[in-house]
């Protein structure tokens, strides 16, 4: 059976190439023509390496769901050198001596950054500011003042200390800037610093160990890349699903939006799927028919106590 064209592909990005460059290589290798969509979920800066989730065809509709998942990174923080980009690609703005810092003090300081924290995105980032990308303004020397946002750091552990370098392992929620996290920690430690290296190890349920090397994309046969693709139905393994029959599935394809009680008749304990949910991402459900993903939906309340199904994404 020929692997599906719609889904995701796991790629281990090399240092020095852009995320968009990897997308172009995948699109060229698949040779589906200009109308076939290819994208990615979660940009990696050119200096960074590791897991880049490539979205294929209708997989591009999964972007926000993939990006909202937990990420894991291995990073090197270099103390004593600050740059305007907070990483090795920028201009040096300060150089300071690095004092003797005990491993205990470093680990104790790092623990302050676990949990929900306030973080300001770096000026050299893709965040929109006054209608333009922040990095566009920063490169022109224009002032960029971005708003603080709340991000979640599930864990920040110290793998090793070899001053002036500290190796960090970070598990965090979507939207967290590791450059900013490293720079903030460096300032708290005293001398300041920059992120020297960054490698993404995991994104959601997916691991870089299962990814193909980006350098191999253009050398792989079209069929081999297809075999490495993960179909739509398996692209969000942590999301609950409801299997509906073909009759209801056909109505959904034609634009019909079922009420919640129709789905409750299909799956008796459906309401248990939403007990103790913490965020919108956890309240989402996949509608499935056979081996096909039909839609991603969530439950919404209406006036009078009724509940309806709100469609987040529909797949043809």
* Residue reference for tokens 């800037």: 177
The two structure tokens encoding residue 22: 């990897």
Residue 245 annotated as catalytic: no
Torsion on CA atoms 141, 143, 144, 148, rounded to nearest 10? 140
- CA distances for 174 relative to 8, 149, 153, 169, 185, angstroms: 18, 12, 9, 16, 19
- CA distances for 152 relative to 44, 177, 204, angstroms: 19, 11, 14
For 125, residues 6+ apart whose C-beta sits below 8 A from its C-beta are: 133, 134, 135, 146, 177
Kindly state the helix (H) or strand (E) to which residue 316 belongs, with its residue range.
none
Stated length of the chain? 316
Residue of 12, 45, 87, 184 with catalytic role? 45
The span from the CA of 96 to the CA of 74, in Å, is 25
Q: Which residues are catalytic?
A: 45
């Amino acid at each position: 059976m020929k692997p599906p064209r719609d889904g995701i592909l796991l790629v281990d990005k090399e240092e020095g190439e852009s995320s968009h460059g990897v997308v172009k290589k995948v699109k060229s290798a698949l040779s589906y023509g200009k109308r076939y969509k290819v994208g990615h979920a979660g940009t990696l800066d050119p200096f960074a390496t590791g897991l880049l989730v490539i979205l294929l065809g209708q997989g591009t509709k999964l972007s926000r769901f993939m990006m909202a998942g937990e990420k894991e990174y291995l990073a090197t923080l270099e103390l004593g050198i600050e740059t305007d980009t907070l990483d090795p690609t920028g201009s040096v703005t300060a150089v300071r001596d690095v004092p003797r810092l005990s491993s205990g003090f470093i680990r104790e300081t790092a623990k302050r950054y676990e949990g929900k924290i306030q973080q300001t995105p770096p000026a050299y980032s893709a965040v929109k500011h006054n209608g333009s990308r922040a990095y566009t303004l920063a490169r022109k020397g224009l002032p960029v003042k971005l708003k603080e946002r709340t991000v979640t750091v599930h864990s920040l552990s110290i793998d090793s200390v070899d001053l002036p370098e500290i190796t960090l392992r970070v598990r965090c929620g979507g939207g967290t800037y590791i450059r900013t996290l490293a720079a903030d920690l460096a300032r708290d430690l005293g001398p300041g610093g920059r992120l020297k290296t960054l490698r993404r190890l995991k994104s959601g349920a997916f691991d870089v160990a299962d990814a193909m090397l980006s350098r191999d994309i253009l050398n792989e046969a079209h069929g081999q890349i297809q075999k490495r693709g993960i179909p739509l139905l398996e692209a969000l393994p942590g999301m609950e699903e409801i299997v509906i029959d073909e009759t209801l599935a056909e109505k959904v394809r034609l634009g019909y939006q079922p009420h919640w009680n129709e789905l409750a008749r299909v799956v008796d304990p459906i309401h248990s799927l939403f007990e103790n949910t913490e965020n919108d991402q956890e309240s989402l459900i996949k509608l499935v028919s056979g081996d096909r993903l039909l839609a991603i939906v969530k439950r919404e309340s209406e006036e009078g106590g009724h509940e309806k199904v709100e469609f987040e994404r529909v797949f043809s």
